[in-house]
Amino acid sequence: MTFAHGLKVKSLGILYLILPLGAFCEPDEEQLKKTEIKRRMHVYAAGPMSNFAVAIVIFMIFSLAFMGSVQAHEGVHVLYNIEDSPADTINITAGSVITEINGSAVMNVTMFTSLLQNISINQTVPITYYKDGSYFTKNVTLVSQYHFTNDKNDTNDSFLGVGFNLYVNGYLKALQQPLRYAFPDGLILVYSLPFFSYLIGYNPIVSPFTGGYVIQGPLSFLPTNLFWIIVNALYWIFWINLVVGLFNVLPMIPLDGGFLLSDALRGVIKRVKGSIKEEKREYIVRNITLFISLIILFVVLFPWIIKYF
């Protein structure tokens, strides 16, 4: 946009970490100040818009091409196991998918619980589970849940020792169709994954959670590890560009959003009261922009400030 308006450029650069993540352009400030407001706003808007454009394109590739090739494996997905439990002894860990218990198919957690209730304590039964692209069938002896909870009400309950991921399909659909699935929750989930990952581990999908998904379609020829590396790289390129773009449009100086706000105010004041002196107009613009910038800065810093009171 700077070149399009015939402005001089002091420097250009590309930001990258393995893959290009963004770029910067530093125009000649003195020439930029003398440029008419409309053209100057175009220059200021170009940076954030390029970030948003990259974010949208990359996310479409991530969501439609790659995540569209992923399907959750049928069964109940294990979120964690308990150390020294029956599940731990036969290596059912996070990312495993239990598909069958004692000869009966397991499609959901309700079926799993019902089947477990029909198995006696100390009874040995076969369990089939999917893990790392392979099926395993092993015999396991269930124990009393009381040994792990110390709750007398659990004395007669059979216990395997796993916790289940109840949001596998919903999570996958949010990554595939964030604008259609449970809007706006799906979109919020996609944006908040870097923060959410500290609690659960999705990033957006890393081992062991990748073990419960199956890659289908044209991209199934890719090695599984390479597929997930590309998926996570695409997500981070999308997320970084989105966050940089959103931050850059904040209406505070010295961000592009602050300069856009200043020029917008200049244009409004000039149109509403064209007779006002330039010094007076600049005084009004400067104070309004400063006031809004301080409000935005306070909102950004408030979560860190409040914890000290």
How many alpha carbons lie under 13 Å from residue 150 in its C-beta half-sphere?
0
**H or E element in which residue 37 lies:** helix 37-60
Q: How confident is the model at residue 4 (pLDDT cuts 50, 70, 90)?
A: very low
Quote the CA–CA distance of 69 and 216 in Å, as a whole number: 5
Tens digit of pLDDT for each residue in 142-200? 888 887 788 777 778 888 888 887 777 778 888 888 887 777 877 888 888 887 666 65
What does the pLDDT read at residue 284? 81
Cross-strand bridge partners of residue 134: 131
Taking the CA atoms of the chain, what radius of gyration do you get in angstroms? 28
Answer positive or negative: Cα dihedral of 276, 277, 278, 281: negative
For the chain, the domains span 76-164, 250-309
Is the confidence at residue 127, as pLDDT, over 90?
yes
Residue 139: strand pairing partners: 126
How confident is residue 136, by pLDDT bands cut at 50, 70 and 90?
Answer: very high
Tell me what pLDDT residue 128 has.
94
Confidence bin at 295 (pLDDT 50/70/90): confident
Q: What is the pLDDT of residue 31?
A: 53
Q: Which residues of 245-277 are buried (b: 16+ CB within 10 A; e: fewer)?
A: beebbbbbbebbbbbbbbbebbeebeeeeeeee
For residue range 57-97, list pLDDT tens digits in order. 999 999 989 998 998 888 999 888 888 899 999 999 888 99
Strand ranges for 92-226 from DSSP E: 97-101, 104-105, 124-131, 134-141, 143-144, 158-159, 162-164, 213-215
Give residues with Cβ within 8 angstroms of 200, minimum separation 6. none
Average pLDDT over the chain reads 79
Specify the range with the lowest mean pLDDT, choosing from 4-8, 28-32, 118-122, 126-130: 4-8
Instruction: Give the per-residue pLDDT at 23.
Output: 52
Candidate ranges 24-33, 153-162, 299-308; pick with highest mean pLDDT: 153-162
Spatial CA neighbour of 96 closest among 127, 50, 120:
127
**Position of tokens 């007398």?**
152
Which residue in 49, 61, 62, 72 sits closest to 2, CA to CA? 49
Position 126 scores a pLDDT of 93
Which percentage of the chain shows pLDDT scores above 90?
12
- C-alpha closest to that of 123 among 175, 161, 160, 71: 160
Which CATH code of 2.120.10.30, 3.40.640.10, 2.30.42.10, 3.10.20.30 fits the domain covering 76-164? 2.30.42.10
Residues 106-114 have a mean pLDDT of 88
Question: Rounded CA gap, 59 and 111, in Å?
Answer: 36
For strands 76-81 and 162-164, give the pairing.
antiparallel
Sign of CA dihedral 206, 211, 212, 217: positive
pLDDT of residue 14: 53
44/178 Cα distance (integer angstroms): 29
Return left, alpha or beta for 75; rule: phi > 0 is left, psi -120 to 50 is alpha, else beta.
Answer: left
Between 293 and 196, the more confident residue is 293
- pTM of model > 0.85: no
pLDDT of residue 156: 81
pLDDT score of 2 more than 90 = no
pLDDT, mean of residues 246-266: 80
Out of 23-27, 135-139, 170-174, pick the least confident. 23-27
